[in-house]
């Protein structure tokens, strides 16, 4: 048999559960409890009770002498009985018994003839005396039983409150850190000792939380590892590694051992009472379950990420196979036709065929560029190299890059005259503008102008591209920035659905944000905002 | 094909690219020599004496940047860098080392020929006299006078030295670092960068009709600026 858990000198659980934290406990304290509470059994209080009981018996005796002439002395037995009841309620069993015995003796000695003697001659006095003793004893026993019951109930209530508070705190989070935080707050408070928590980490246990006052060295680590491997308690108070001051218990669930908890004993003499041991068991079970839950949640999250990556890969493959092969097919087709049937084709036909091939090849290049950008973004390889940039310059460079398309379509640029230089990565933001403008150009009919506006908006640079295209349905506004998203409307221009998601990636790499809105009066408004302070690397 | 046109050395390890470049350039009466590696190129240049070098940036072994700096030790033959998108920093290094211009693959024949012509013209133009004229812009380097059409343009001394750097290297792509060195001398590059952008912006405001669609001072995003002297290059953009 293992010895009991050493427990230190605070047996009363309630005394350290703050009333404001457990309002349930406080509101249920009845008058009875309040009276009974005086009886809490500490050594000091017990002596106090004994002395007070003797004092009361003395007082009644003196009072008896005073009123002996008015009241018949045989009635004094009732007064002594009252004293016994009071003493039992207030100080518990022993003072009550003492009170009953001394009361009976005093009554016999002083008020039962023959006076100043313990001899009892009158049979009625004898009956009174026996009644006094019996009532005293019975009352004291009943009182004590009630008191113990109340005490137990109070403790249970406190346990329940502590457990409730702990499980509630555990349930509030699914992450390891949150669980460790709950454990770190509740265990030392309820069990009043420094703790250490070790969780399994790839076949080993590592310390995840340690009370500041607990010393944990290499040797202790070895004990914890032993507990983790064997699933048995060890350390202080057990047969294994008993010279440690820490008692280790495994955190077990149905699936196995998830970790180890250590409790440092402050005094090895006092033991954890059985009900607290039970509570500790429940606490540890809850902890183990919560840790298992967190572990599962983490695994689920990981699986989700994998699944997401898988989905992306599939979409990428689909997109690549379709969007790369279509233009490639027309390029190859044109080249084959010209190589084989040159003699049959007149010059204008050849020219138009070659023009088609050129356009398609360009589209292919654009797509490859987007795929590369996307890969760089996904791989976290995009480095933002901010330098103060002139917005005129950025817009100009974007228009220049768009070339023919931007030349033939009216684009009205409005840049606030007082706009300062803005820190940004010139290349990336030019790319963002090119993609957004390209999008606007694709969806804008013939000669309806596209507006580009840039100004300071609440401490940020805001750049807006507004078109009068057919607009984006309300429910798709958010989704246009998703990878491979293509509008549901039929007859949309070809594309892989990468351009805008790259924009989002680039803008967010600047700590900025990008959004799409329906423009009043028809069309779409794309706006992105960049902070005026350079992003810190 | 005898010594009819300018001599161009093509340095690229991709046979396909070399073949395409040779075909397009020979059709325009350039005399071509090919080199496959950087080492090859360094050996061939003294013998072949090219008028211009097309240099791929992604060469195996001795890279484009090293070839540029080796050549710049003894010759000012114009070098045009051929790069792919994503090579940004390597490209800037090569330009800082003395390359004249760059083209991003894939590029069209029209753009290639335009860049070659501009680079060759710059070599011939070096003693073209103290007065520079392009479009409406006239810069008199002796009188320190700048006119736009008939109107005199007032420039601050810094703006003028910036414009002068552009005029002296007309059509050449100047990196930020080169411009800072040219205008502010030994100033700290990071500090001067800000000044550079402010001055470019001011210069454009004074010279360009629409600063967002500049006609003279063209931005090469992330690389630098160039002063454009001929009417707009007709080739469609290659990578937009």
Residue B42 sits in a domain of what CATH number? 3.40.50.2300
- B235 domain residue, yes or no: no
- A537 domain residue, yes or no: no
Window 115-174 of B, Cβ < 8 Å to A? none
CB proximity A453 to B under 8 Å: no
pLDDT of residue B225: 92
**Average pLDDT for chain B:** 85
- B165 domain residue, yes or no: yes
What average pLDDT does the segment A125-137 reach?
79
Query: Which residues face B173 on adjacent strands?
Result: B226
CB proximity B85 to A under 8 Å: yes
Look up residue B96 and give its two tokens.
Answer: 């800082």
For B219, nearest residue in chain A (alpha carbons): A397
Of A181 and B1, the structure prediction assigns the larger pLDDT to A181
Which of B96, B124, B152 marks a domain boundary? Answer: B124
| Residue found by looking up tokens 């290659």 in the block | B238
Per-residue confidence at B126, pLDDT binned at 50, 70, 90?
low
The rounded distance, in Å, linking the Cα atoms of A272 and A195 is 15
The rounded distance, in Å, linking the Cα atoms of B32 and B47 is 13
Domain membership of residue A264 as a residue range: 180-301
CB proximity B98 to A under 8 Å: no
Distance from CA of A310 to the nearest CA of B (A): 26
CATH number at residue A403: 3.30.565.10
A1-15, A130-144, A410-424, B180-194: range with highest mean pLDDT: A410-424
Tell me the pairing of strands B151-152 and A411-415: unpaired
Let me know whether B118 and B136 are in one domain. no
Let me know whether B43 and B112 are in one domain. yes
Let me know whether B55 and B117 are in one domain. yes
- A213 domain residue, yes or no: yes
Of A128 and A537, the structure prediction assigns the larger pLDDT to A128
What average pLDDT does the segment A110-118 reach?
78
pLDDT of residue A456: 92
Domain membership of residue B135 as a residue range: 131-227
Which of A378, A396, A415 marks a domain boundary? Answer: A378
- B136 domain residue, yes or no: yes
Phi, psi of B148 (to 5 degrees): -120, 105
Which of A301, A322, A351 marks a domain boundary? Answer: A301
Within 8 A of A395 by CB-CB distance, chain B residues are 212
pLDDT of residue B155: 92
Nearest one of A241, A274, A155, A249 to A195, comparing CA atoms: A249
What average pLDDT does the segment A419-435 reach?
89
Helix axes A43-67, A93-106, angle to 10 degrees: 20
Per-residue confidence at B127, pLDDT binned at 50, 70, 90?
low
Per-residue confidence at A67, pLDDT binned at 50, 70, 90?
confident
pLDDT of residue B230: 60
Within 8 A of B213 by CB-CB distance, chain A residues are 396, 399-400, 413
Nearest one of B177, B156, B179, B176 to B167, comparing CA atoms: B179
Residues A263-315: pLDDT tens digits? 887 665 455 777 778 888 888 888 998 888 888 888 888 888 888 777 767 76
What average pLDDT does the segment B216-226 reach?
88
- B237 domain residue, yes or no: no
- Residue from the list B194, B218, B237 with its beta carbon closest to the beta carbon of A421: B194
- Residue from the list B198, B204, B211 with its beta carbon closest to the beta carbon of A421: B198
Residues with Cβ within 8 Å of B177's Cβ and at least 6 positions away in sequence, in order, are B92, B96, B189
pLDDT of residue B238: 40
Per-residue confidence at B237, pLDDT binned at 50, 70, 90?
very low
Let me know whether A37 and A126 are in one domain. yes
Look up residue B17 and give its two tokens.
Answer: 């690219």
CB proximity B198 to A under 8 Å: yes
Let me know whether A161 and A189 are in one domain. no
pLDDT of residue A37: 40
Q: How many CA atoms lie within 13 A of A413 on its CB side?
A: 20
What average pLDDT does the segment A332-357 reach?
86
Whether residues B213 and A399 touch (CB distance < 8 A) is answered with yes
State how far Cα A472 lies from the chain centre: 39
pLDDT of residue A148: 81
Let me know whether A464 and A501 are in one domain. yes
Within 8 A of A372 by CB-CB distance, chain B residues are 85-86
CB proximity B189 to A under 8 Å: no
State how far Cα A537 lies from the chain centre: 29
Let me know whether B143 and B117 are in one domain. no
pTM of the model: 0.55
What average pLDDT does the segment A80-102 reach?
82
pLDDT of residue A13: 41
CATH number at residue B214: 1.10.10.10
The rounded distance, in Å, linking the Cα atoms of A197 and A180 is 8
For B202, nearest residue in chain A (alpha carbons): A390
Helix axes B38-48, B64-72, angle to 10 degrees: 30
Let me know whether A451 and A502 are in one domain. yes
Let me know: does A524 contact A516? Beta carbons within 8 Å.
yes
What average pLDDT does the segment A47-66 reach?
86
Residues B11-37: pLDDT tens digits? 998 888 898 889 889 888 899 999 999
Let me know: does A421 contact A388? Beta carbons within 8 Å.
yes
| Least confident span in A21-30, A206-215, A489-498 | A21-30
The rounded distance, in Å, linking the Cα atoms of B143 and B162 is 16
Residues with Cβ within 8 Å of B142's Cβ and at least 6 positions away in sequence, in order, are B130, B131
Within 8 A of B198 by CB-CB distance, chain A residues are 390, 421
Q: Chains A, B: CB contacts under 8 A, how many?
A: 75
Let me know whether A140 and A87 are in one domain. yes
Look up residue A429 and give its two tokens.
Answer: 């933001």
Let me know whether A76 and A94 are in one domain. yes
Looking at residue A3, the DSSP 8-state letter turns out to be P
Give the total number of structural domains in chain A: 4
- B43 domain residue, yes or no: yes
Which of B61, B96, B124 marks a domain boundary? Answer: B124
What average pLDDT does the segment A15-39 reach?
39
DSSP 3-state of A536: coil
Instruction: Please name the helix (run of DSSP H) or strand (run of DSSP E) that holds residue A311, with its range, or none.
Output: helix A274-341
Which of B92, B124, B156 marks a domain boundary? Answer: B124
C-alpha torsion angle, residues A116, A121, A127, A132 (rounded to 10): 10
Residues A444-465: pLDDT tens digits? 887 888 999 999 988 899 999 9
Of B53 and A130, the structure prediction assigns the larger pLDDT to B53
- A536 domain residue, yes or no: no
pLDDT of residue A488: 60
pLDDT of residue B33: 94
pLDDT of residue A8: 40
pLDDT of residue A239: 83
What average pLDDT does the segment A45-57 reach?
83
Let me know whether B151 and B80 are in one domain. no
pLDDT of residue A316: 67
- B234 domain residue, yes or no: no
- Residue from the list A392, A430, A434 with its beta carbon closest to the beta carbon of B204: A392
- Which segments within A333-474 are labelled E, that is strand? 387-389, 411-415, 422-424, 450-457, 460-466
Let me know whether B21 and B118 are in one domain. yes
Per-residue confidence at A23, pLDDT binned at 50, 70, 90?
very low
Let me know whether B97 and B196 are in one domain. no
What average pLDDT does the segment A195-204 reach?
84
Give the total number of structural domains in chain B: 2
């Amino acid at each position: 048999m293992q010895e009991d858990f050493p427990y230190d000198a605070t047996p009363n659980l309630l005394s350290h559960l703050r009333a404001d934290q457990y309002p349930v406990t406080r509101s249920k304290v009845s008058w009875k409890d309040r009276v009974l509470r005086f009886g809490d059994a500490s050594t000091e209080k017990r002596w106090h009770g004994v002395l007070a009981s003797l004092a009361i018996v003395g007082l009644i005796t003196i009072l008896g002498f005073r009123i002996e002439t008015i009241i018949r002395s045989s009635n004094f037995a009732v007064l002594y009985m009252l004293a016994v009841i009071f003493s039992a309620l207030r100080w518990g069993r022993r003072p009550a018994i003492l009170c009953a015995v001394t009361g009976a003796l005093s009554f016999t000695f002083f008020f039962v003839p023959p006076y100043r003697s313990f001899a009892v001659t009158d049979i009625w006095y004898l009956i009174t005396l026996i009644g006094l003793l019996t009532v005293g004893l019975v009352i004291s026993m009943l009182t004590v039983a009630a008191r113990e019951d109340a005490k137990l109930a109070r403790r249970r209530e406190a346990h329940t409150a502590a457990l409730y508070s702990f499980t509630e705190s555990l349930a509030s989070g699914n992450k390891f850190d949150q669980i460790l935080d709950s454990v770190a707050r509740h265990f030392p408070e309820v069990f009043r000792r420094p703790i250490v928590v070790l969780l399994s980490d790839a076949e080993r246990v590592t310390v995840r939380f340690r009370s500041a006052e607990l010393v944990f060295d290499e040797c202790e680590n070895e004990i914890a590892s032993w507990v983790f491997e064997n699933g048995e308690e060890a350390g202080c108070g057990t047969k294994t590694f008993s010279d440690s001051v820490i008692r280790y218990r495994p955190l077990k669930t149905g699936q196995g051992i998830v970790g180890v908890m250590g409790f440092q004993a402050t005094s090895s003499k006092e033991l954890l009472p059985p009900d607290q041991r039970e509570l500790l068991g429940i606490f540890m079970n809850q902890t183990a379950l919560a840790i298992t839950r967190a572990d599962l949640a983490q695994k689920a999250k990981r699986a989700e990420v994998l699944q997401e990556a898988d989905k992306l890969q599939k979409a990428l493959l689909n997109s690549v196979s379709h969007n790369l092969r279509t233009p490639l097919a027309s390029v190859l087709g044109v080249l084959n036709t010209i190589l084989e049937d040159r003699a049959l084709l007149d010059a204008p036909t050849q020219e138009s065929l070659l023009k088609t091939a050129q356009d398609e090849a360009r589209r292919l290049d654009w797509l490859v560029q987007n795929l590369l950008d996307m890969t760089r973004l996904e791989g976290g390889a995009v480095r933002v190299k901010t330098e103060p940039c002139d917005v005129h310059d950025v817009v100009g460079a974007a228009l220049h890059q768009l070339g023919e398309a931007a030349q033939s379509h009216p684009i009205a640029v409005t840049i606030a005259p007082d706009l300062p230089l803005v820190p940004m990565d010139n290349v990336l933001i030019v790319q963002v503008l090119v993609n957004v403008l390209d999008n606007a150009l694709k969806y804008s009919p013939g000669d309806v102008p596209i507006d580009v506006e840039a100004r300071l908006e609440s401490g940020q640079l805001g750049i807006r591209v507004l078109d009068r295209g057919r607009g984006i349905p309300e429910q798709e506004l958010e989704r246009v920035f998703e990878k491979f998203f293509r509008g549901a409307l039929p007859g949309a221009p070809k594309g892989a659905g990468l351009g805008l998601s790259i924009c989002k990636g680039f803008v967010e790499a600047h700590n900025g944000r990008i959004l799409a809105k329906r423009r009043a009066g028809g069309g779409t408004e794309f706006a992105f905002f960049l902070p005026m302070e350079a992003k810190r690397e | 094909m005898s010594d009819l046109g300018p001599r161009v050395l093509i340095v690229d390890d991709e046979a396909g690219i070399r073949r395409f470049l040779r075909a397009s350039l020979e059709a325009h009466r350039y005399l071509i020599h090919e080199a496959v590696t950087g080492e090859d190129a360094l050996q061939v240049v003294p013998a072949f004496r090219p008028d211009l070098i097309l240099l791929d940036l992604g060469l195996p072994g001795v890279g484009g940047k090293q070839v540029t700096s080796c050549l710049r030790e003894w010759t000012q033959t114009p070098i045009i860098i051929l790069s792919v998108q994503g090579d940004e920093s390597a490209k800037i290094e090569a330009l800082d080392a003395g390359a004249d211009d760059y083209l991003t693959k894939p590029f069209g024949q029209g753009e290639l020929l335009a860049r070659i012509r501009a680079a060759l013209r710059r070599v011939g133009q070096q003693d073209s006299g103290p007065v520079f004229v392009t479009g409406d812009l006239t810069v008199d380097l002796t009188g320190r006078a700048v006119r736009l059409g008939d109107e005199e343009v007032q420039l601050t001394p810094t703006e003028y030295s910036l414009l002068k750097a552009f005029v002296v290297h007309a059509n050449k792509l100047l990196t930020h670092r080169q411009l800072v060195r040219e205008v502010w001398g030994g100033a700290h590059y990071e500090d001067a960068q800000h000044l550079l952008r402010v001055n470019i912006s001011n210069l454009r405001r004074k010279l360009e009709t629409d600063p967002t669609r500049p006609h003279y001072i063209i931005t090469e995003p992330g690389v630098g600026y160039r002063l454009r002297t001929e009417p707009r290059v007709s080739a469609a953009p290659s990578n937009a």
